[in-house]
């Protein structure tokens, strides 16, 4: 393991708070492998058992899904120092949900599941970090599902804006995502999102100026977000 890789690893959310020395020592104790992949190579196959924690040391990989008709769907792009599918390592049927494919020259650290379990037991900080990572993901997902369950697009948007308002503590919201991103997140087509945003503007619920949204009528917005 190069010192470059070590410093990358210490920036990984899993090892946050550990010095590179502690990290190197822990990794030595527990055992690991570093593998190298050229671009376009399959790192892990959809459906195969997921018995290693995989951490990207350099380069990037993609989660790809080939649907039944053969069309390629990119689920997510992962770059160093992110862990690959940490929420699947300990699941009951721990198969990879996607093909993991190298999108550039990359190095990946493999730690066997049982060894990683030992690492978690020996290091409170790593345990906390790992639990936090998969818990956050779970929270993100259930949040997303909450949005998807709203009955129509206006409610989804209202709920989304109210959540932003809660986070930013202001009636004047600065959005970071494009309409396309937001449409994807809410599970609708982009023109549909634009149309309903316009409706809400016409109803004086909100005001839009570029990426700034001003909430004009909180009470009505809350009514919408049933």
As a residue count, the chain comes to 226
Query: Residues 121, 127, 130, 132: is their CA dihedral positive or negative?
Result: positive
Helix, strand, or coil here: 38?
coil
**Residue 36 touches its own copies, criterion: CB under 8 A:** no
Per partner kind, with CB cut-offs from 5 to 8 A, the member of its own copies, DNA, none near residue 106 is none
- The DSSP element (H or E) to which 4 belongs, if any, is helix 3-10
Per partner kind, with CB cut-offs from 5 to 8 A, the member of DNA, its own copies, none near residue 198 is DNA
Q: Tokens representing 21?
A: 């020395």
Strand partners for 95 = 49
Part of the chain binding its own copies (CB under 8 A), chosen from 19-27, 191-199, 207-215, 216-224: 216-224
Query: Cα separation of 139 and 133, whole Å?
Result: 10
DSSP character for 88? T
Instruction: Return the residue of 65, 73, 189, 214 that touches DNA, per CB under 7 A.
Output: 189
**Residue 48 touches its own copies, criterion: CB under 8 A:** no
Q: Which residues bind DNA (CB under 7 A)?
A: 151-154, 178-180, 187-192, 194-198, 208, 210-211
Q: Which residues bind its own copies (CB under 8 A)?
A: 67-69, 71, 87-94, 97, 117, 120-122, 124, 127-128, 131-132, 134-139, 141-142, 144-145, 148-149, 162, 187, 221-223, 225-226
């Amino acid at each position: 393991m190069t010192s470059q890789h070590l410093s990358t690893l210490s920036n990984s959310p899993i090892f946050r708070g550990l010095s590179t020395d502690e990290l190197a020592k822990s990794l030595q104790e527990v055992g690991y492998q570093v593998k190298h992949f050229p671009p376009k190579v399959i790192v892990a196959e959809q459906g195969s058992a997921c018995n290693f924690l995989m951490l990207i040391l350099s380069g990037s990989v993609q989660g790809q899904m080939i649907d039944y008709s053969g069309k390629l769907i990119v689920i997510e792009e992962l770059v160093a120092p992110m862990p690959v599918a940490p929420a699947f390592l300990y699941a009951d049927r721990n198969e990879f949900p996607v093909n993991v494919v190298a999108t550039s020259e990359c190095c990946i650290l493999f730690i066997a599941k049982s060894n990683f379990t030992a690492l978690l037991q020996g290091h409170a900080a790593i345990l906390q970090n790992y639990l936090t990572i998969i818990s956050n993901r779970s929270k993100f997902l259930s949040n997303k599902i909450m949005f998807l369950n709203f009955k129509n697009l206006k409610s989804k948007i209202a709920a989304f804006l109210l959540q932003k308002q809660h986070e930013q503590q202001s009636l004047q919201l600065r959005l970071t995502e494009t309409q396309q991103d937001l449409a994807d997140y809410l599970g609708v087509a982009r023109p549909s999102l634009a149309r309903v945003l316009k409706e809400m503007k016409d109803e004086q619920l909100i005001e839009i100026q570029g990426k700034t949204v001003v909430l004009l009528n909180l009470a009505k917005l809350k009514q919408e977000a049933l």
